[in-house]
Amino acid sequence: MANNTTFSTPLIATQVSVLDFFVPGSSSILAAIELVLGTNSYIRPLMLCMFLAFLGRRVFRFVWDVAETYFVSTVHVQYGSEVYDMVNLWATSQPFARRARSSMARVGWKSPSYSDFEEDRHRGRRRKKLLYYLPWNGTFYFSYNEHLFWFRSREKENDGYLQQVVTVSCFGSPTVLRQLFDDCRDGYLKLTNNKTAVFEYLRHGNWQRTSLKSIRPISTVVMDEEDKEGLLRDIESFLDPGALTWHANRGIPYRRGYLLYGPPGTGKSSLCLSLAGHFGLDMYILNLSGTHGVPLDQALIRAGRVDRKLELPNADEDAAFRLFCMVFKGAKGDIPDPKRKAEDDDDTVENYGRQFVRKIPDGEFSPAEIQSYLVEHRGSARMALGKVQEWMDRTRTERAKMARANAPTAASPSTM
């Protein structure tokens, strides 16, 4: 008697065959899984739901990719650039950053929010070790001017170290996105007003802002006044709007090189910082030590690279007198110092200053050394005058000790 075997076709294959239009072969896969697991009435809808969820995710990803390609505007922010600082500073003050479950905590000059910075400034307080939190390693959505935006942050390896990659996106015209970046810039400039940004070279042509320095008035730089005025006139002429066209019409490279030289502490760095603040420029610092193994002096000072050389020597009598008056004379906006003696009016200060410079030999001490000593005794010009000889003796002794410590030692004879 022959055995008849009946095979039943799983119902799910005919019910969901339409899925083959989206994922070819999907109905056959579901039918095979159902055949293996049996025809339990609970398994069939569960499998269908799981597959639909998988399919829905694929469809959503496809639709989203199409939308991003054709309907989304995106700005990519270069790591370490000043725009990177602008966007990150703005982001730290936004509600979506405070709600972020993934953040990077940092310490820096930046205030957690512009309002906090303004409040502390008006109260006269100085906040130390400010913490700010940046959304990190994820996608964060927010609303701006009634538009949906998303801030995307992720890590990318570059030359063996991880750096942050930031993009900001929105639906629609890039005009709205650029308006957001304009607001980021405005907030950054507000916070950095009356500051000079200092950048240092990283690698591969990239520069990173490493600090912000308060603008130092050019009037506080103690140097030969004739040299200072000539330098200011020369820079003003170079930065004149018509100078670029003048150079281009004559085929002359639009650049200007200045060589400042002199002993340490004579104000070379201070002068550069003050000039940058005076003309509203940033400072870029590049360490040329050992570059490509080529010696740092003849290559730098040849004609065409250095247009003007300016020596900043140790303090002479005039420089020492001006430093004395700058420290002890009252200045506009000074907070009353309870340590300042009542007899130290401007006339008295000038009298003490003339006595002070007669005790200091010309050219022996740098302006930085003299200024440091005077600031130490800023509460009393009389005390600064009375202790100057003691300070000079101590400074000479310290110099001698440092010279002996830095002197090369004779090689000791080898022993067997």
Stretch 44-62: mean pLDDT, rounded?
A: 70
Stretch 223-234: mean pLDDT, rounded?
A: 94
Residue in this structure with the two tokens 């000038």, named with its chain if needed: 350
- Per-residue confidence (pLDDT) for residue 132, from 0 to 100: 80
- Per-residue confidence (pLDDT) for residue 78, from 0 to 100: 82
Mean pLDDT rounded to a whole number for the chain: 80
Type of residue at 269: S
Q: Is the pLDDT of residue 246 over 70?
A: yes
Residues 260 and 271 sit within 8 Å (Cβ to Cβ):
yes
- Per-residue confidence (pLDDT) for residue 173, from 0 to 100: 83
Stretch 374-381: mean pLDDT, rounded?
A: 91
- Per-residue confidence (pLDDT) for residue 108, from 0 to 100: 64
Other beta carbons within 10 Å of 273: 19
Stretch 213-242: mean pLDDT, rounded?
A: 92
Residues 31 and 12 sit within 8 Å (Cβ to Cβ):
yes
Q: Is the pLDDT of residue 290 over 80?
A: no
- Per-residue confidence (pLDDT) for residue 268, from 0 to 100: 93
Stretch 163-180: mean pLDDT, rounded?
A: 88
Residues 86 and 185 sit within 8 Å (Cβ to Cβ):
yes
- Per-residue confidence (pLDDT) for residue 113, from 0 to 100: 42
Q: Is the pLDDT of residue 149 over 90?
A: yes
Strand positions, DSSP E, 38-122: 72-77, 103-107
DSSP state of 288: -
Beta-sheet strand order (sheet of 195-201):
207-214, 195-201, 283-285
Q: Is the pLDDT of residue 416 over 50?
A: no
Question: In the structure, what pLDDT confidence band is assigned to residue 104 with cuts at 50, 70 and 90?
Answer: confident
Which has the higher per-residue pLDDT, 96 or 52?
96
Question: In the structure, what pLDDT confidence band is assigned to residue 119 with cuts at 50, 70 and 90?
Answer: very low
Q: Is the pLDDT of residue 12 over 60?
A: no
User: For residue 173, what are the CA distances in angstroms to 167, 177, 268, 356?
Assistant: 16, 8, 49, 68
Which has the higher per-residue pLDDT, 16 or 349?
349
Q: How many percent of the chain have pLDDT more than 70?
A: 73
- Per-residue confidence (pLDDT) for residue 114, from 0 to 100: 41
Strands 207-214 and 195-201: antiparallel
The 10 Å CB-count burial string (b at 16+, else e) for 165-198 is ebebbbeeeeebbeebbeebeebbeebbeebbbb
Q: Is the pLDDT of residue 415 over 50?
A: no
Q: Is the pLDDT of residue 136 over 70?
A: yes
Residues 68 and 43 sit within 8 Å (Cβ to Cβ):
no
Please, which residues have CB within 8 angstroms of residue 212's CB and are 6 or more apart in sequence?
A: 109, 192, 195, 196, 197, 198
Which has the higher per-residue pLDDT, 72 or 129?
72
Q: Is the pLDDT of residue 388 over 90?
A: yes
Q: Is the pLDDT of residue 106 over 70?
A: yes
- Per-residue confidence (pLDDT) for residue 81, from 0 to 100: 82
Which has the higher per-residue pLDDT, 231 or 6?
231
Question: In the structure, what pLDDT confidence band is assigned to residue 351 with cuts at 50, 70 and 90?
Answer: very high
Stretch 70-80: mean pLDDT, rounded?
A: 84
- Using CA atoms, how far apart are residues 63 and 61, in angstroms rounded to an integer? 6
Question: Which of 5-14, 98-107, 289-298 is least confident?
Answer: 5-14
- Per-residue confidence (pLDDT) for residue 116, from 0 to 100: 44
- Per-residue confidence (pLDDT) for residue 183, from 0 to 100: 93
Q: Is the pLDDT of residue 373 over 80?
A: yes
Which has the higher per-residue pLDDT, 88 or 321?
321
Stretch 29-51: mean pLDDT, rounded?
A: 64
Q: Is the pLDDT of residue 259 over 80?
A: yes
Stretch 207-218: mean pLDDT, rounded?
A: 86
Q: Is the pLDDT of residue 277 over 90?
A: yes
Q: Is the pLDDT of residue 402 over 70?
A: yes
Strand positions, DSSP E, 103-205: 103-107, 131-135, 138-144, 147-158, 161-171, 195-201
Q: Is the pLDDT of residue 414 over 50?
A: no
| DSSP secondary structure string for all residues of 366-392 | -HHHHHHHHHHTTT-HHHHHHTHHHHH
Please, which residues have CB within 8 angstroms of residue 79's CB and are 6 or more apart in sequence?
A: 158, 163, 164, 165, 166, 206
Question: In the structure, what pLDDT confidence band is assigned to residue 262 with cuts at 50, 70 and 90?
Answer: very high
- Output the six-digit token pair for 321: 């007198």
- Per-residue confidence (pLDDT) for residue 40, from 0 to 100: 56
pTM given for the model: 0.70
| Residue 270 region by backbone torsions, left for phi larger than 0, else alpha for psi between -120 and 50, else beta | alpha
